[in-house]
Amino acid sequence: MKFESQPSYSLGQRTPASREVAAGENGGNVTLVSQSALGAINRGRVLQALYDNGPKSRADLARLAGVNRTTITGIVQPMIEDQLLVEGDASPSDVKGGKPARPLYFNPDAPMLGAVLLLPGTIQTCLVALTGEIKAVAKAEFDTHGETEAFIAVMTETLTATLSQAQQAPFGIGVASAGMIDSDNGTILTVNLAPVLTGLPLVAILQERFSLPVVIDHHPRALLVGDRWFGPGRGQQNFAAVYTGEVLGGAFFIDGKVYRGLAGSGGELGHSVVQIDGALCNCGKHGCWETVAALPWLRKEAARLSFPHPKSVTCARLVKEADEGSKAAEELLDRYTRNVAFGIVNLQQTLSLNSYVLHGDVAGGGMKAAELIRQHIEQLVVKRPGQEISITVNGIGEGHTALRGAAGLVLSSHLKLVI
């Protein structure tokens, strides 16, 4: 029998710029699941279930995962021997009768996670325990326009100071960085305001110096992962993290996985268009969400409305002044939160994640700002039956959230959540 080359019902035509995938190049990313990978995957999933749900007995885990009890035993036993997990005291069973369950959880003395937050001009490092506790924080500054070698020296020194305080080698090092990051290759593409970092293969460098697994991702995605492991996103399978401030950004957790997009892009929400031919944006386009929902807009409006010290207006300040009875603050807050809502509305219409965690300036406004945003979204979104939209803030602790996120990056890659 002879086959024709490739039966083609691709009736459409492609524009010239289209990628040539028809030749079957892209088919290369078909991957089968190997036997050994399966073990690693299931081990990771058990750990994640344990992490998401808190201390649980083997039997509970088996029920949760829908597998045999013996399977769980086989998975957790080596981990107990490795001192990663510990068996708790028999808890009085909630059901009547039966042998009491022995809950399992992470060993408080288990290795910690190294975390680095890299912003233009400053490095922050710390250790994060699996409980989310932050220890051994160190800070340093670097010359944003200096020599690469100098930066690496500062980074190494700071990180060494932090890591040396760990009882035992940490699981790995997670780096959250501002700017454009190629997380697949572990390099920093560009960071505005810090040209010294351009093109830096930071993962390779740190991996070599510390002989530990190193992962890097950009700031919003670190916030997302931090939420997933240590914050309001814990245990959730679908949610988004939204950052507002001088710029706007976002990151998505979709179907139990961090969405990274092609080459680590995606989530550049700030430059989605909410006002065709609207105000000019820093990016050179018009009507980006960033032109109406970031701090510059808020401060310009505050100036126009003759607020005192408009340059220092924040969401937190507006909430405070509104609570103190300022009508003007209340109105501006309402407009601000409405503008923020539009971006989330578009996200909701597109992906229907239903759950959003706010960071940055708007998170400073706390529950009140979140509730205002939620109400605006409710009014702006086309509602589906049974759909509830949840808005959460995670703004307390500021940099700590990002540091936990960096640590979470290590967890995510360590547990091989991706299949």
Partner DNA sequence: AGCAGTTAGTTTGTACCTCGCACAAACTTA
Partner DNA sequence: TAAGTTTGTGCGAGGTACAAACTAACTGCT
Which positions touch DNA (CB under 7 A)? 32-36, 38-40, 42, 57-60, 67-71, 73-75, 77, 90, 92-93, 95-102
Residues 50-69 that bind its own copies (CB under 8 A): 52-55, 64-67
Give the shortest CB-324-to-its own copies separation in angstroms. Answer: 21
Residue 352 interacting entry, from its own copies, DNA, none, C-beta within 5 to 8 Å by type: its own copies
Can residue 6 be called a binding residue for its own copies (CB under 8 A)? yes
Burial of 399 (0-12, 13-18, 19+ CB in 10 A): middle
Give the shortest CB-92-to-its own copies separation in angstroms. Answer: 12
Sort strands 239-244 and 249-254 into parallel, antiparallel or unpaired. Answer: antiparallel
Stretch binding its own copies (CB under 8 A), from 119-127, 148-156, 315-323, 347-355:
347-355
Cβ count within 10 A of residue 8 = 8
Give the shortest CB-77-to-its own copies separation in angstroms. Answer: 16
User: CA 119 → CA 180, 194, 211, 314, 400, distances in Å?
Assistant: 12, 8, 24, 21, 13
Count, residues in the chain: 419
Cβ-based nearer residue to its own copies, 108 or 146: 108
User: Which pair of structure tokens corresponds to residue 240?
Assistant: 């988004």
The rounded distance, in Å, linking the Cα atoms of 283 and 270 is 10
From 148, 168, 192, 352, residue interacting with its own copies (rule: CB under 8 A): 352
User: Which pair of structure tokens corresponds to residue 202?
Assistant: 């930071």
Residue 70 interacting entry, from DNA, its own copies, none, C-beta within 5 to 8 Å by type: DNA
Give the shortest CB-209-to-its own copies separation in angstroms. Answer: 28
Task: Give the three-class secondary structure for 292.
Answer: helix
End-to-end CA distance of the chain: 37
Cβ-based nearer residue to DNA, 70 or 349: 70
Sort strands 390-393 and 239-244 into parallel, antiparallel or unpaired. Answer: unpaired
Q: Answer for the pair 370, 393: CB distance below 8 angstroms, yes or no.
A: yes
Cβ-based nearer residue to its own copies, 169 or 419: 419
Residues 78-117 that bind its own copies (CB under 8 A): 86-89, 103, 105
User: Which pair of structure tokens corresponds to residue 322?
Assistant: 């509104």
Can residue 342 be called a binding residue for its own copies (CB under 8 A)? yes
Residue 345 interacting entry, from DNA, its own copies, none, C-beta within 5 to 8 Å by type: its own copies
Question: What is the size of the binding site for its own copies (CB under 8 A)?
Answer: 128
Give the shortest CB-355-to-its own copies separation in angstroms. Answer: 7
Give the shortest CB-78-to-DNA separation in angstroms. Answer: 9
From 73, 156, 198, 238, residue interacting with its own copies (rule: CB under 8 A): 238
Binding pattern for the stretch 239-268 against its own copies, x by CB under 8 A and - elsewhere: -----------x---xxxx-x-xxx-xxxx
CA angle, 82 then 84 then 85, to 5°: 110
Give the shortest CB-154-to-its own copies separation in angstroms. Answer: 27
Task: Give the three-class secondary structure for 9.
Answer: coil
Nearest to 418 by CA among 53, 37, 113: 37
User: Virtual CA dihedral for 333, 336, 341, 342, nearest 10 degrees?
Assistant: 150
Give the shortest CB-89-to-its own copies separation in angstroms. Answer: 6
Give the shortest CB-98-to-its own copies separation in angstroms. Answer: 20
Sort strands 134-141 and 122-128 into parallel, antiparallel or unpaired. Answer: antiparallel
Q: What type of residue sits at position 93?
A: S
Stretch binding its own copies (CB under 8 A), from 20-28, 216-224, 300-308, 315-323:
20-28
Q: What type of residue sits at position 273?
A: V
Q: Count CA atoms within 13 Å of residue 413 on its CB side.
A: 22
Residue 120 interacting entry, from DNA, its own copies, none, C-beta within 5 to 8 Å by type: none
Cβ-based nearer residue to DNA, 46 or 329: 46
